[in-house]
Amino acid sequence: MATIHDVARVAGVSISTVSYALSGKRSIADSTRQRIDDAVQQLGYLPNAGARMLKGTRTNILAVSAPLHAGTYAPAHMTFVLSVATAAREYDYDVLLLTQDEATSGISRVAQSSLVDGIILLDVSNEDPRTDLVRRLGLPATVVGVPAETDGLTCVDLDFERAAEMCVERLVDLGHTDIGLLGQAPLVYKRGSNFPPRFRSAFAQMGARLGAHTTFAPTDEDSASVVAAFDRISAALPEMTALVMHCNEPVQSMVLEILRQRGIRVPEDLSIISACSTFDTDHLNPPLDVIPLPADKSCTRAIALTMEQLAGNVDPHVELIEPTYVELGSTSSVTH
Amino acid sequence: MATIHDVARVAGVSISTVSYALSGKRSIADSTRQRIDDAVQQLGYLPNAGARMLKGTRTNILAVSAPLHAGTYAPAHMTFVLSVATAAREYDYDVLLLTQDEATSGISRVAQSSLVDGIILLDVSNEDPRTDLVRRLGLPATVVGVPAETDGLTCVDLDFERAAEMCVERLVDLGHTDIGLLGQAPLVYKRGSNFPPRFRSAFAQMGARLGAHTTFAPTDEDSASVVAAFDRISAALPEMTALVMHCNEPVQSMVLEILRQRGIRVPEDLSIISACSTFDTDHLNPPLDVIPLPADKSCTRAIALTMEQLAGNVDPHVELIEPTYVELGSTSSVTH
DNA sequence: CCGCATAATCGAAACGTTTCGACGATTTCG
DNA sequence: CGAAATCGTCGAAACGTTTCGATTATGCGG
C-alpha cells in the first residue's frame, strides 16, 4: 500500500508538502501540485485511515445504531439504514452498523475507542436506554424519531401529528364524517414506540375537533388479524366512508384484497389514505393517496445535523418535517 | 478519553507493561496485572482505534458490500446484513456498510485506505464487477452466494440444487407426478442473479429424472401477476397436485389467499413446499413445509472463513450448505 | 538598493498504540 | 556453586498522518 512518503518521493517533495497539497490548507505552486497529483494517481494513493484517525481529530466514521425490534417492518428499517449510509457518503463519511444487543452497548464501545465521530440512532422508543447513553457520552448524535424526553437531544422526524391532522382534514373536507384508522401491530403500541401513538391520538383529536366519528384498531400482519381488525372498525362505525391506514405494506394490500372480495369499491364506497408509508403506493391496486414517510429526507437532515454538531454550531433541538399529501385517486367526496 | 499512558500512570508501571498485560502476549506478575485491571476499570479505558489500526496489522473492521438491487426482497437483504454484523461481533469485529453505488467503488476505497481487514460480498450476481475487484485487491474476502466464475474466490451458499432436488424427491415419494414451480420476479432471472436459475434448472432436471411433469412461472409481487402466474402453471399442468414456491413472503401469502378463494385445500388438493425462504412459514395459513435459507448459518460461516483467511490458512473454495427440510403439514400423499 | 511582506517548501513533533531488544532478578540444573 | 534459562518489566522505535514553526526564494514600495 502506497504511503504519503512514496508520493513525496515520486513527486520529489517533502511529505508535508504532499499533505498540504492534498488538504489545500496552504498554498502550493501549480507545478508542484501537478506533480503530486500525478504521483497520487500513479500510485493509487489513499491516506491510511488509522493514521488519519490517530492524528487528525476526525475518524470520518459514523455509528448507526439500528436494533431490529419485533414488530418493526424490515423493509422500512432497511430503507432508513440505507438512507443514512447514502447521506453520510455525501460528507465523505462511512457508516458503522450497530445492531441487536450491540445497538446499545456498541455505542459506548465505539465512542470510547474513538472509532466514530458521531452517532445516528434509529427506531427509538419512548424510553430508550440509548438516549441517556448519548447524552452522557456528549458525542455528536442525532436521533431519527422522537423519544419521550428530548432534553439535550437533537431529533428529526416526520411531523406525525400534522400528518394525522392532514388525513382527517382532507377527508372531512370531502364530506366524510365516519373515519376509521387501521394501525400497526399491537406490540408496537405496547413497546413504547413513539410515533404510532402520536399519530393515533392526533387523529382522534382532530376527528373530535372537526366533528367526525373516528375509531381505531391495531392489527398484526397475518390475514386473520387484518380481517378481524377491519371488521372491528366496521362494527364500531357502521356508516364508515373513509379509512386511514397507518400500517405495513402487506397489511395494506390485504385490506385492498378484503375490499375486492366484499365488493367494496375504492374510492366510490370507501375513501382510503395510506399514512406515513415507506413504500410506493402507486403499484397497489388501486394506487392509494399517501402521505409518505420520507426516510431519505429525515436521514439526510439527520446527517446534516450531525455534521453541524461536529462543526460545533448547533444546539440540541427537535426538527419536525412537514408532511406532504400525494393524491393518487383513492379518495373522493361523499355522494348521498 | 483515557489513554494507555493514564492507565500506566495510575497503575504505576510503564505503558509497555500495560500493553502486554492487556494483550497477554508476555507474562505479567499477578499483582501487577491486578493493579492494571483496576486502573483500566477505574478510567474506563479502551484502546484508541486509530492508534491500534496504525500500529497493529488489524483494524478489526470488516466491510460488507450490500447493494439493494431492484427485485431484491428487502427483509431478506436485511436479514443477511444483520447476520453478518452479529457474526462479526463474535470475533470482535465491527462492520462497515457499503451500499448502492458505493457497494462497488467503496470496496477499493476502504481497502486502499486500510480501513478494513476483509470484505463480505452480499447478493452477488453471475457477472458481478465486485468479484473481479476483490480478486485484484487480494484482501481476505468471502462471497455469500455463488457467481458464475468462482476461481480464486471463497464462497458460501445454500446448496440450491440440492434444495430443489429435495423438493422434487419428497413430492415424488408422496406420489405426486405433476409439480409446479412458482419463481421470483422475472427481473431476477434476467439480471443474472445466480441462485434462482440454479434452483429452477435443478428442479426441472430432477423432475425429468424421476419422471414427473414440471412447469415454471416467475411472478412479480403484485396480486395480478401472482394470479396470472398461478393460472399459467395450472394451465400447463391441469393435473397439478403439488406446488413449490421459490419466492417472497408476500407472494406466498397471496397464493394461499388465491387457494382459499378458489376452495383449493392444502394439502388435500394441493401439496405445497416453501423453498429457500428467509421468513418463518409457521405463521402462514396454513403453515408451509419449508427448506429454510439459513442466513445466519451462511453468514456465520462467511465470517469464520474470512477470519481463517486473515490467519492465512485457507485456500479459495466454494462451500455449499446442506439444506434441511422442515415438515409443517402442507404436504401429503396423493390419494386417488 | 535595502528591508519586508508574501509565497512555497521543508523538518520535526505529536497522536496512542504494539513490539523488539535489553536488563536485572529469580529459578533451574548439571 | 556457577552458568544458563526464565520471568517481569522497561525504554525506545515504528506505524502514517497532520500541523506548527522555520527557512528560503520572490516581488514590492520607499
Compute the distance between CA of residue B243 and CA of residue A294 in angstroms, rounded to an integer. 39
Q: What is the CA radius of gyration of chain A?
A: 25
CB atoms A85 and B102 under 8 Å: yes
Q: How many Cβ atoms sit within 10 Å of the Cβ of residue A90?
A: 11
Share of chain B above pLDDT 70, in %: 100
pLDDT tens for each residue of A78-115: 999 999 999 999 999 999 999 988 999 999 999 999 99
Mutate to test the interface with A, among B99, B100, B278 (most CBs of A within 10 A): B99
CB atoms A223 and B257 under 8 Å: yes
Q: What's the Å distance between residue B34 CA and nucleotide D7 C1'?
A: 17
pLDDT at A56: 81
Average pLDDT, chain B: 95
Chain B residue numbers touching A68 (CB-CB < 8 A) = 78, 82
Contacts 24+ apart (CB under 8 A), A190-193: A191/A69, A191/A70, A191/A71, A191/A125, A192/A125, A192/A126, A192/A127, A192/A148, A193/A69, A193/A71, A193/A123, A193/A125, A193/A126
Helix (H) or strand (E) holding A120: strand A118-121
Place of cell 480501513: B115
CB atoms B86 and A100 under 8 Å: yes
pLDDT classification of A314: cutoffs 50, 70, 90: confident
For chain B, which domains are there?
4-47 (1.10.260.40), 61-158+295-321 (3.40.50.2300), 160-292 (3.40.50.2300)
Q: What is the DSSP string of B75-87?
A: HHHHHHHHHHHHH
- Could you tell me the strand order of the sheet in which B178-182 lies? B213-217, B178-182, B242-245, B271-277, B289-292
Compute the distance between CA of residue A234 and CA of residue A128 in angstroms, rounded to an integer. 35
CB atoms A85 and B79 under 8 Å: no
pLDDT tens for each residue of A258-295: 999 899 999 999 999 999 999 999 988 899 999 999 99
pLDDT tens for each residue of B292-316: 999 999 999 999 999 999 998 888 9
pLDDT at B336: 62
End-to-end CA distance of chain B: 76
Chain B residue numbers touching A40 (CB-CB < 8 A) = none
Place of cell 518521493: A9
pLDDT value at A52 more than 90: yes
Helix (H) or strand (E) holding A106: helix A102-112
pLDDT tens for each residue of A25-38: 999 999 999 999 99
Nearest CA in chain A to B116: A49
Bridge-based pairing of strands B178-182 and B213-217 is: parallel
Per-residue pLDDT, averaged over B153-173, amounts to: 98
pLDDT classification of A336: cutoffs 50, 70, 90: low
pLDDT at A261: 87
pLDDT classification of B92: cutoffs 50, 70, 90: very high
pLDDT classification of B261: cutoffs 50, 70, 90: confident
Nearest beta carbon to residue A97 from set B47, B51, B97: B97
pLDDT at B45: 97
Q: What's the Å distance between residue B15 CA and nucleotide D9 C1'?
A: 10
pLDDT at A84: 97
Q: Is the CB of A23 under 7 A from strand D?
A: yes
